[in-house]
Amino acid sequence: GRHYDEMLTRLKLKQAYGRLLRRKTDKGIFVMLDRALPTRLLGGFPDGVRAERMGLKDAIAEVRAFLPDEEDD
């Protein structure tokens, strides 16, 4: 039922996020482009992970702000 499906979804979110950050020194940004994701499923992320809902334009701005400026390389 729904409980089982939500459990699998939380597990998949946790696994996907875990692939992003494997070491304590790793940094990353995880973007989900799905307005239908229920807030209750955000529990799939580890404690301390900040989750925000925003529009695509704001998400692009956040990603650009997070990524290093190519001119600095």
Token pair of 32 as six digits: 């989900």
Say what the pLDDT of residue 13 is.
86
Number of domains the chain is built from: 1
| Structural domain that includes position 54 | 2-72
Q: What is the pLDDT of residues 9-54, one digit of tens each?
A: 888 888 888 888 888 888 888 888 888 888 888 777 888 888 888 9
Cβ-Cβ contacts under 8 Å for 27 (sequence gap 6 or more): 21
Cβ-Cβ contacts under 8 Å for 46 (sequence gap 6 or more): 14, 17
